[in-house]
Amino acid sequence: MTVPAWADGLDGLFGLVAGRFFRAEPRRRARAYVRGLLPPLAGKNGWTLAEVAGDATPDGMQRLLNAATWDADGVRDDVRDYVMEHLGEPGGVLIVDETGFLKKGSKSAGVQRQYSGTAGRVENCQLGVFLAYASSKGRALIDRELYLPKSWTSDRERCRAAAVPDEVEFATKTTLAEQMLGRALDASVPVWFPRNRGGFPMPRLG
C-alpha cells in the first residue's frame, strides 16, 4: 500500500481512537505524529516530525509523548480491532518479537546496558516486546510491552521519576509475551498458531 493510501486510511482509524484523547491538542498532535511516520524520511526524530506537522520546534510532540493524558491501552485495543476488521482471517498468525531502542542517558524507563538483538551486542538501550498479526491480507503490530529490568522495578523512586506506575512489577520478556497473547486470544483474534521470533519459550495457550 502506498503512503498516500495509508494517509487516507488514517482518517477512518483516527475516527475510532479520537475519544481516547481527552483534549483537542494531544488528539491533533497524535494524528500529526503518525502522519509524520509514514513518509520515507531519513532520521525520523522529534525535529523532523515537528517539521512535517508544520511546527517550529518539537516541544508539542515531546508533550504528547511525555506529558499528555490519553488512554494508550484503549488506543491499542481500537487499533487491534481495526486491524482484525481489515486483515483478520482464520489462517492468521501471531508473531512475538523483541526490539531494542538505543539510548544515551539513564532516565528513560527501562534503560540500562543490556543485550539488544537490534544492535547485535550489549548497548545502553530500552527493550520492547511486540505482538504482530499477519495474514494473507497483510501484517500489523497489535500490542506492545516495555521490558523493565529488576534494576528498575527494585527502585520505586527511579520508576516514579520516569512515570512508571507503582503497581508495575518485574516481568520477564516471556511473561510479557504471554500477557499480550492472552489479550489477543481474549479478544477473539482469528489465529492459526503463534509464531515466535524473539527466542521466547512458547507460552502455553490452554
pTM of the model: 0.85
* pLDDT averages per 10-residue partition of the chain, 206 residues: 59 87 90 83 80 88 88 95 95 94 94 94 97 95 98 97 95 96 95 64 46
Place of cell 481489515: 86
Name the phi and psi angles at 154, rounded to 5: -85, -5
pLDDT at 2: 47
pLDDT at 200: 54
pLDDT at 77: 97
Q: Are 109 and 164 contacting, i.e. CB atoms less than 8 angstroms apart?
A: yes
pLDDT at 10: 80
Spell out the residues 6+ positions from residue 14 whose beta carbon is closer than 8 angstroms to its own: 30, 31
pLDDT at 38: 78
Helix (H) or strand (E) holding 97: strand 93-102
Helix (H) or strand (E) holding 145: strand 138-147
Cell of 12: 477512518
pLDDT at 198: 55
Cell of 83: 486491524
Domain ranges of the chain: 3-66, 72-196
pLDDT at 3: 45
